[in-house]
Amino acid sequence: MIQKKHVAVLGGGSFGTVLANFAASNSYQVSLWVRDAEQALRINSEGANTTYHPDLKLSNNITANDDLASVILGAEYVLVATPSIIFEEVISRLEPLINSSVAVISCTKGIKPEPFRTMTDIITQHLGHIIGNKVGVLSGPNLAKEIAEEKIAGTVIASENERVAIEIKSMLSSNTFKVFSSQDILGVELAGALKNIYAICCGIAHAKLVGENALGFILTRSMAEMSRFAVAKGANPITFLGLAGMGDLMATCTSRLSRNFQLGELIAMDLSLIEAKERVGQVAEGARTLEVVFHEANKMNVSMPLVNSLYKILYSDASSDQLIQDLIDHPNEVDVEFTYQEQS
């Protein structure tokens, strides 16, 4: 009998649950870490995570547990899908629990401040001396509700370790979910985090009934800002033409399934940020990422007009009407900044 490979998925939210189910459906033995013992008991007894996906029947290969050490024991791959605010605390707890054979994949879209760090930076900082380059990031247009409903979707695994990328493809691929690979960890990760900011912008614009032309305007300027910032950080601008960039931006900035888009709509209704977050219910990473990127862009002298406008709206009590007006009033910019130059 072939022994099943063991995967630990940390985070029993909407995305962690569907990732766990993909791996389990592909014959991996999956341990799902949740922070609440009662939630673990419900998942195991009901065969579903009714808090997030009440209609998704979970594979029998999944066992939920609130004890992190038990979840990690024997795992060859660890997929981390926790909110960014607790990501580093969770990663730091893994150090005494893993060995050099383990690979750790970030499935969290966020950035940590002071100093500016991506989620894979945090993994490498705490675990790099143990796992080397067996680090990766999973990101793309992955609205969890649609994935749970088996609607077609794709994602990107970025890792410098080819074996890790191949294994993640095998682990998560299905008839409805296609996994592509990339070596641009920084670009894929920044694209996934930054687009949440612009989903809030698009939610505001949509609620203001600005029209499709204006939404197209905002989307393309969003892409310009994202890639400008990422290139200043050392990423490849071409990455932003793919699933992790344009794909994720389109999905998140045009759908009410996006928590950040919902947050923007509520801000446009003159709710405070606190009230809007409470109304959305689940974690919307964009507001937290906005704070980090606003300060980092100013420090690096990177032009990000939409980021600046949204920051004033969320944190300085500016009117949400300011978003569109600031974009119109901003001095003309070059449309496409990164061009192909044929070598002679």
pLDDT tens, residue by residue, 107-158 = 999 999 989 999 999 999 999 999 999 999 999 999 999 999 999 999 999 9
The contacts of residue 73 (CB under 8 Å, 6+ apart) are 97
The DSSP secondary-structure symbol of 258 reads S
Residue 309: its H or E element? helix 305-315
Q: What is the mean pLDDT of residues 277-299?
A: 91
pLDDT at 2 over 80: no
Helices and strands (DSSP H and E) totals, the chain = 15, 10
DSSP alpha helix (H) spans, 60-183: 68-72, 84-94, 119-131, 144-148, 162-172
pLDDT tens, residue by residue, 259-271 = 999 999 999 999 9
pLDDT tens, residue by residue, 28-55 = 999 999 999 999 999 999 999 999 999 9
Token code pair at residue 15? 């995305």
Q: Are 262 and 271 in contact (CB under 8 A)?
A: no
Burial 105-121 (b: 16+ CB within 10 A, else e): bbbbbbbbeeeebbbbb
pLDDT at 342 over 60: no
pLDDT tens, residue by residue, 173-185 = 999 999 999 999 9
- On whether the pTM is more than 0.85, the answer is yes
Q: What is the mean pLDDT of residues 239-243?
A: 95
Q: According to the model, what pLDDT value does residue 94 have? A: 98
Place of tokens 């931006």: 249
Q: Is 239 helix (H, G, I), strand (E, B) or coil?
A: helix
Q: According to the model, what pLDDT value does residue 26 have? A: 96
The confidence band for 230, taking pLDDT boundaries of 50, 70 and 90, is: very high
User: Given CA atoms 73, 83, 280, 35 in this order, what sign does their dihedral have?
Assistant: positive
Report residue 224: phi and psi, to 5°: -60, -45
Q: According to the model, what pLDDT value does residue 344 have? A: 46
The structural domains of the chain, ordered by start, are 6-183 (3.40.50.720), 195-329 (1.10.1040.10)
Q: Which CB contacts under 8 angstroms, 24+ apart, belong to 41-45?
A: 43/12
The confidence band for 324, taking pLDDT boundaries of 50, 70 and 90, is: confident
Q: What is the mean pLDDT of residues 296-303?
A: 96
The confidence band for 322, taking pLDDT boundaries of 50, 70 and 90, is: confident
The confidence band for 339, taking pLDDT boundaries of 50, 70 and 90, is: low
Report residue 31: phi and psi, to 5°: -105, 125
Place of tokens 């990455």: 239
Q: What is the mean pLDDT of residues 299-307?
A: 95
Q: According to the model, what pLDDT value does residue 340 have? A: 53
Task: Give the closest residue to 337 by CA, choosing from 253, 229, 195.
Answer: 229
pLDDT at 295 over 80: yes
312 is catalytic: no
Q: Which of 57, 134, 195, 277 is catalytic?
A: 195
pLDDT at 160 over 90: yes
The DSSP secondary-structure symbol of 245 reads I
